[in-house]
């Protein structure tokens, strides 16, 4: 057996918990009401285009992303705008949402093709970027960075590789896994569109070795596409981190503070590739996504194709309601997801899973003295010294922590996960990062 | 469970299995083979020293924390047990019990708790306890009962004391005798491997220490960096001297098998609290401890130097941590 590729620094291997890996994607019933946030992406919130009482069709543009880094928002159902409201989402803050009550009959926007098109239509790069932008596509791995921005290679740089992030290194989540098994062809079509747009000859699809069926499936399909290679990776968290994945696949380090294009790479999530296919061949904007609903005491861990704006509580009801033993609900995976205070918060473009955590795992343990075991430095994938960054934050030495590379932290949580003294290392690093950000913005003003 | 009782906290939401307790009790398990070997060769005396050392360490930690510092005692975390066993391992099996108590008080009270308890102590507490006893009671600390003779299976009464292999060599070299002559009266390599030699309770059986060390590595409680650089440096330096003057210097394997080197390499230099925080730092630390050990053994007044070597390296750990930071991913060098 050959040695599987992986990234070189640090990493952990938490229990995988992929309970829903064998549950085919089910189409989730249309909700009575959807709550569609105008900011589901990194960048400026979209500007609302509809007013209360207005009737909207499925796929209709309801909020427009202004400025380069922003994304369009579309109605995910047919109905009437009930109000423009605020709702507390997984950030813990109230966010502006467009509330739409569903009409009985679903009417799709005219140009959307709702069957499987058998087309090999060619597009110019400008058309592709335009359509990706119009469709409101963002990085579906969870970072939700607007995809059209990534598709625009800055002048003087070339995209030698398109890297498809199909790692799904977060425990429990299986939405990308199921998508690869069920929509492999569409994903590969989306990939070839992106390759042409980026003028890239080589695509690497990185998949962790705990998804052997997906690896085999895509390997078989990719034979019909030139320059597309599926690479099986060792199971190691956080391999889905952009910089870690590039390192694992092509052994290049993205320099600190720089983007992947610096080493000739554009990284897109596998779900994003599928969304690109839908946008180009079906004119379908991003109004639905696959969401894993899972947890150790969930009776039927499932994968649903869910319309954006569906309340999370209805997803929980669909898997048998909130079990008695559950004490925490997480939007995302167990390593980087956000704990929800409000279960009526909606599914957004970045929601890859809803994880129900049992009481025994939900609370933190009491922190003790650091025993200087150095495990945090050994597992940090960015080669930082988390114990030191925590200490510098406690002592309010933010300038020093900036020198120690605190801004390189990708917040993967490996340090807190590993710490035998139960210290909240990442919490303190987050505090430090936000202080350094403040210092930096003051510096710019001067 | 209703929505109002949901727990909110930042990620990560899951936690690895390692805890301070699992690490400490893992170290205790790893020390059992050496303890059993010592009981075999030295009888009940060896067990007595270790058991009393553990009892004293735990009791002192409990009493000082509860009544002097008035904080919640942390004896459950197992670190006092580890210190107790390690201190016992560093004592002759014939040491009077009250002296063990003094050693434990120094180790726990001064070297550990006065600095703020587990995690804050710059020096390895067990070694501080041992060195305190060594300079306070030099006679008792260097009187070694003879081990069980593996050929006759007869143990020799406690009253008779024998020197350690390193002591024999130091004495012989001082008299100007050639190594070959000294080695005729010293235990063989094989005796040193199994433990039929004079020495502190925990250091006699090289084999048992290696088994324990491998367990620590297997359980990922320690990494290979400190033991390998420590042992490697000793092998290289003693090897160089041996190759140049084999009549004056003993071979490197004998150095590795005797005295406190294996105990030090696997159990004391690797003490996480008092060792560096990066792999490069650990390599430097191990090499430094190895070098100082061999310098003391070959040129110092004492036959053995592991304790001093580790304590000296403990002292410069903060500097090592500054000098050897982990290698950062994608680091951009300034200028």
Q: Which of B1, B3, B12, B278 to mutate to test the interface with A (most CBs of A within 10 A)?
A: B12
Cα separation of B93 and B187, whole Å? Answer: 19
What is chain A's Cα-based Rg? 22
Query: CB–CB of A380 and B277 under 8 A?
Result: no
Q: Is the pLDDT of residue B158 over 50?
A: no
Environment class of residue A216 by beta-carbon count within 10 Å: exposed (0-12), middle (13-18) or buried (19+)? middle
Q: DSSP 3-state assignment of A87?
A: strand
Query: CB–CB of A9 and B20 under 8 A?
Result: no
Say which of B15, B272, B282 has its CB closest to residue A371.
B272
Residue A73 near residue A4, CB atoms below 8 Å = no
Identify the pLDDT of residue B1: 46
A11-20, A27-36, A251-260, A437-446: least confidently modelled range? A437-446
Query: Which residue, among A253, A241, A270, A236, has the nearest Cα to A5 in the 3D structure?
Result: A236
Sign, CA torsion A230/A231/A232/A235: negative
Q: Which of B6, B20, B122, B221 to mutate to test the interface with A (most CBs of A within 10 A)?
A: B6
Neighbours of A395 (CB within 10 A): 10
CA dihedral B53, B58, B63, B64 (to 10 degrees): 80
Is B331 in CB contact (< 8 Å) with chain A?
yes
Cα separation of A32 and A77, whole Å? Answer: 9
Contacts of B272 in chain A (CB under 8 A): 371-374
* Residue ranges of B 244-273 with Cβ closer than 8 A to chain A: 272-273
Residue A352 near residue A173, CB atoms below 8 Å = yes
Shortest Cα–Cα distance, B20 to chain A (Å): 5
- Model confidence at B148, pLDDT cuts 50, 70, 90, reads low
- Model confidence at B218, pLDDT cuts 50, 70, 90, reads very high
Is B135 in CB contact (< 8 Å) with chain A?
no
A137-141, B242-246, B261-265, B328-332: least confidently modelled range? B328-332
Peptide bond just before B324 cis, omega within 30 deg: no
Contacts of A341 in chain B (CB under 8 A): 6, 8
Average of per-residue pLDDT values in chain B: 89
Query: Which residue, among A386, A399, A378, has the nearest Cα to A428 in the 3D structure?
Result: A386
Cα separation of A410 and A382, whole Å? Answer: 8
Query: CB–CB of B11 and A413 under 8 A?
Result: yes
Burial state string for A120-144 with b = 16 or more CB within 10 A and e = fewer than 16: eeeeebeebbebbbbbbbbbbbbbb
Is B69 in CB contact (< 8 Å) with chain A?
no
Query: CB–CB of A357 and B13 under 8 A?
Result: yes
Which residue in the block uniquely carries the two structure tokens 């498809």?
A164
Cα separation of B296 and B309, whole Å? Answer: 8
Determine the straight-line distance between the first and last CA of chain A, rounded to whole angstroms: 58
Q: Is the pLDDT of residue A143 over 70?
A: yes
Query: Which residue, among A390, A368, A367, A387, has the nearest Cα to A379 in the 3D structure?
Result: A387
Beta bridge partners of A228: A203
Cα separation of A432 and A308, whole Å? Answer: 34
Query: Which residue, among B46, B127, B50, has the nearest Cα to B84 in the 3D structure?
Result: B50
What is chain B's Cα-based Rg? 21
What is the share, in percent, of chain B residues with pLDDT greater than 90? Answer: 65
Query: CB–CB of A328 and B23 under 8 A?
Result: no
Q: Which of A171, A244, A374 to mutate to test the interface with B (most CBs of B within 10 A)?
A: A374
Cα separation of A96 and A118, whole Å? Answer: 39
What pTM did the predictor assign?
0.91
Identify the pLDDT of residue B152: 55
Query: CB–CB of B327 and A364 under 8 A?
Result: no
Identify the pLDDT of residue B132: 96
CB pairs under 8 A between A and B: 171
Angle between the N-to-C axes of helices B44-63 and B97-104, in degrees from 0 to 180, rounded to the nearest 10? 40
Residue B108 near residue B121, CB atoms below 8 Å = no
Cα separation of A314 and A354, whole Å? Answer: 11
- Model confidence at B302, pLDDT cuts 50, 70, 90, reads confident
Say which of B120, B273, B329 has its CB closest to residue A408.
B329
Q: Is the pLDDT of residue A195 over 60?
A: yes
Cα separation of B282 and A331, whole Å? Answer: 40
Query: CB–CB of A341 and B8 under 8 A?
Result: yes
Per residue, what are the HEC states of A372-385? CCCHHHHHCCCCCC
Q: Is the pLDDT of residue B176 over 90?
A: no
Query: CB–CB of B22 and A420 under 8 A?
Result: yes
Angle between the N-to-C axes of helices B20-42 and B79-89, in degrees from 0 to 180, rounded to the nearest 10? 30
Identify the pLDDT of residue B335: 38
Q: At a CB cut-off of 8 Å and minimum separation 6, what does B335 contact? A: none
Alpha carbon distances (Å) from A130 to A126, A163, A169, A261, B206: 6, 21, 31, 20, 72
Residue A417 near residue B16, CB atoms below 8 Å = yes
Q: Is the pLDDT of residue A117 over 80?
A: no
Q: Structure tokens of A264? A: 């000739």
Cα separation of A189 and A83, whole Å? Answer: 38
Determine the straight-line distance between the first and last CA of chain B, rounded to whole angstroms: 57
* Per-residue pLDDT tens digits for A379-432: 999 999 999 999 999 999 999 999 999 999 999 999 999 999 999 999 999 999
Alpha carbon distances (Å) from A242 to A164, A167, A253, A294, B112: 10, 10, 11, 25, 43
Shortest Cα–Cα distance, B333 to chain A (Å): 10
Cα separation of A166 and A42, whole Å? Answer: 21
Q: Is the pLDDT of residue B153 over 80?
A: no
Q: DSSP 3-state assignment of A99?
A: strand
Alpha carbon distances (Å) from A353 to A144, A291, A316, A325, A327: 14, 5, 11, 19, 17
Contacts of A337 in chain B (CB under 8 A): 11, 13
Q: DSSP 3-state assignment of A40?
A: coil
Alpha carbon distances (Å) from A94 to A50, A332, A349, B183, B280: 20, 19, 17, 82, 48
Helical H runs in chain B? 20-42, 44-63, 79-89, 97-104, 125-136, 138-141, 165-175, 179-185, 189-194, 206-218, 225-244, 252-257, 261-263, 279-299, 306-315, 317-323
Cα separation of B38 and B47, whole Å? Answer: 8
Task: Compute the residue count for chain B.
Answer: 335
């Amino acid at each position: 057996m050959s040695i599987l590729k992986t990234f070189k620094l640090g990493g952990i291997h938490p229990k995988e918990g992929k309970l829903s890996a064998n549950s085919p994607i089910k189409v989730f019933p249309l909700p009575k009401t959807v709550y569609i946030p105008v900011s589901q992406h990194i960048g400026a919130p979209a500007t609302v285009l509809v007013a209360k009482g207005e009737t909207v069709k499925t796929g209709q543009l309801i909020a427009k992303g202004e400025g380069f880094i922003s994304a369009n928002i579309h109605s995910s159902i047919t109905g009437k705008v009930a109000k423009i409201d605020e709702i507390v989402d997984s950030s813990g803050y109230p966010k502006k949402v467009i509330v739409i009550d569903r009409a009985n009959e679903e009417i799709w926007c005219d140009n959307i093709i709702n069957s499987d098109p058998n087309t090999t239509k060619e597009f110019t790069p400008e058309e592709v970027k335009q359509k990706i932008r119009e469709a409101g596509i963002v990085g579906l791995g969870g970072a939700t960075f607007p995809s059209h921005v990534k598709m625009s290679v800055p002048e003087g740089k070339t995209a030698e590789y398109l890297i498809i992030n199909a790692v799904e290194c977060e425990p429990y989540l299986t939405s990308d896994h199921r998508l690869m098994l069920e929509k492999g062809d569409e994903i590969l079509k989306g990939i070839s569109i992106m390759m042409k747009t980026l003028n890239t000859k080589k695509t690497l699809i990185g998949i962790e070795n705990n998804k052997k069926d997906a690896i085999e499936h895509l390997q078989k399909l990719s034979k019909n596409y030139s320059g597309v290679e599926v690479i099986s990776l060792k199971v190691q968290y956080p391999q889905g981190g952009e910089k870690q994945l590039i390192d694992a696949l092509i052994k290049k380090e993205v320099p600190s503070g720089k983007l992947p294009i610096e080493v000739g790479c554009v990284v897109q999530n596998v779900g994003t590739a599928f969304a690109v296919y839908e946008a180009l061949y079906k004119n379908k904007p991003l109004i639905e996504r696959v969401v894993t609903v899972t947890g150790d005491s969930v009776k039927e861990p499932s994968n649903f194709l869910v319309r954006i704006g569906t309340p999370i509580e209805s997803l929980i009801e669909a898997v048998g309601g909130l079990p008695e033993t559950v004490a925490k609900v997480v939007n995302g995976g167990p390593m980087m997801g956000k704990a929800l205070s409000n279960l009526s918060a909606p599914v957004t473009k970045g929601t890859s899973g809803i994880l129900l955590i049992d009481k025994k795992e939900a609370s933190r343990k009491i922190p003790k003295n650091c025993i200087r075991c150095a495990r945090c430095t050994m597992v940090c994938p960015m080669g930082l010294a988390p114990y030191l960054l925590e200490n510098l934050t406690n002592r309010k030495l933010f300038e020093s922590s900036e020198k120690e590379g605190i801004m390189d932290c990708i917040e993967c949580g490996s340090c807190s996960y590993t710490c035998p003294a139960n210290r909240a290392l990442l919490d303190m690093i987050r505090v430090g990062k936000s202080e350094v950000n403040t210092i930096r913005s003051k510096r710019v003003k001067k | 469970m209703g929505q109002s009782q949901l727990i909110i906290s930042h990620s990560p939401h899951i936690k690895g299995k390692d805890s301070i307790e699992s690490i400490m009790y893992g170290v205790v398990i790893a020390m059992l083979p050496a303890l059993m070997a010592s009981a075999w060769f030295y009888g009940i005396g060896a067990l007595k020293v270790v058991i009393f050392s553990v009892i004293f360490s735990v009791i002192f930690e409990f009493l000082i924390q509860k009544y002097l510092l008035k904080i919640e005692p942390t004896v459950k975390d197992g670190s006092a047990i580890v210190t107790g066993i390690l201190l016992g391992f560093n004592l002759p099996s014939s040491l009077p019990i009250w002296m063990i108590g003094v050693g434990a008080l120094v180790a726990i009270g001064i070297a550990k708790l006065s600095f703020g308890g587990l995690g804050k102590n710059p020096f390895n507490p067990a070694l501080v306890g041992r060195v305190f006893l060594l300079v306070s009671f030099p006679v008792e600390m260097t009187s070694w009962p003879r081990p069980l003779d593996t050929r006759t299976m007869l143990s020799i009464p406690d009253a008779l004391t024998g020197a350690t292999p390193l002591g024999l060599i130091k004495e012989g070299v001082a008299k100007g005798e050639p190594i070959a002559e000294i080695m005729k009266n010293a235990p063989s390599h094989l005796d040193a491997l199994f433990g039929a030699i004079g020495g502190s309770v925990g250091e006699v059986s090289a084999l048992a220490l290696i088994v324990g060390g491998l367990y620590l590595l297997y359980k990922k409680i320690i990494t290979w960096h400190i033991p390998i650089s420590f042992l490697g440096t000793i092998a290289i330096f003693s090897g160089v001297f041996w190759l140049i003057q084999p009549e004056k210097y003993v071979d490197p394997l004998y150095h590795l098998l005797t005295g406190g080197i294996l105990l030090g390499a696997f159990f004391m230099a690797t003490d996480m609290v008092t060792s560096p925080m990066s792999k490069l730092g650990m390599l430097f630390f191990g090499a430094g401890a190895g070098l100082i050990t061999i310098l003391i053994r070959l040129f110092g007044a004492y036959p053995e130097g592991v304790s001093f070597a580790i304590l000296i390296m403990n002292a410069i750990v903060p500097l090592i941590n500054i000098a050897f930071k982990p290698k950062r991913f994608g680091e951009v060098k300034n200028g």
